[in-house]
Copies of this chain bind each other. A is one copy, B any other.
Amino acid sequence: MQITGPVREVLSWYDGERPGVKANLARMLMHGLTGGSGRLLILPVDQGFEHGPAVSFAPNPAGYDPRYHFELAIEAGVSALAAPLGFLTVGADRYAGAVPLILKANCANGLGSIKDEAITATVRDALELGCSAIGYTIYPGSDRQYEMFEEVRAGAAEAKAHGLAVVIWAYPRGGSLSHEGETAIDVVAYGAQIAAQLGAHIIKVKPPTDRIETAQAKSAYEAPGCDLSTLKSRVSHVLEAAFGKRRLVVFSGGPAKDIDAVYAEITSIAAGGGHGSIVGRNTFQRPRAEALAMLRRIAAIHVAAGSAGSQP
């Protein structure tokens, strides 16, 4: 397989990294609808654990079965399927090699009140299941953030030593952050920075709003040339915060919403140079054909933006 120019460009951001890690990044970047474009489209299915099974799958009950999502991911041609250990265990053997896998190695749920996640899988699990990457959530700001960082650091180091790529879901929350502040532009950018510092190859954030949460950031954003009025410009700023646009940053879709709103949002993200989308409920909660069409259209938006020169 010939690695394309945009992918070679992305890989160059990771110089000094182990070849095995680059190979796994290339595997995801070269796979499926966005393959070769330097953009990613990831299907995440950890909502059963994080939000509950009925909340996640009742709208489209086929989704209770993990195999459904493997097949959706394969048929749609996403860059990777991301899910917790138990879920991946169901399909890893049956669909071995058919789609790159990201093992989501820590998980929380909606029943408790402690802002933390449990380590629910290991690098060894990821290797046994044939995954390309391992993923962790961090909650910058929470009272347990430092313990979370230490768990992620240990996992990331072991993953890299075994040639796996590392994905970090950066979700600031807790501490002095307001609920709205969790998606404020300064906070999202800060989360991306921390994920990059912890060694993430791919960073997952939520689309940032134009709210500015912290006083220090307010004065920093008064610098000339700092325009945060559009989602496109905010996405570009978040990419800057991830080592000057030298780390892959993908954006979530959030709760299911009107389909046109989804496309509009993703178009802005792609125009801002966002390296892709990671969309779950917005797709798998719709009927299969609709979900497939939607994933293809999202991929097309990213590929078009890439070709149109909105490379970061």
Contacts and interface: CB of A to CB of B under 8 A. Distances in A.
Interface of A: 13, 15-17, 48-49, 51-55, 57-59, 61-62, 64-68, 84-87, 89-90, 92-94, 107-114, 116-122, 124-125, 140-143, 145-147, 149-150, 153, 157, 172, 174-177, 186-187, 189-190, 192-194, 196-200, 214, 216-217, 220-221, 223, 225-226, 237, 240-241, 243-246
A52 B197 contact: no
A193 B48 contact: yes
B194 A49 contact: yes
Contact of A68 (B157, B177, B244): B244
5 contacts: A58-B220, A110-B216, A112-B174, A114-B143, A119-B150
A154 to B, nearest CB: 9
Contacts of A186: 52, 54
A108 to B, nearest CB: 7
Contact of A190 (B53, B85, B117, B175): B53
B223 A59 contact: yes
Nearest to A63: B244
Contacts of A65: 243-246
B146 A117 contact: yes
Closest 9 CB pairs of A and B: A16-B93, A65-B244, A111-B141, A118-B149, A118-B146, A86-B197, A53-B241, A64-B244, A112-B175
Task: Count chain B CB atoms within 10 A of each CB in A17, A51, A220 and give the residue with the most.
Answer: A220
Contacts of A214: 52, 55, 110
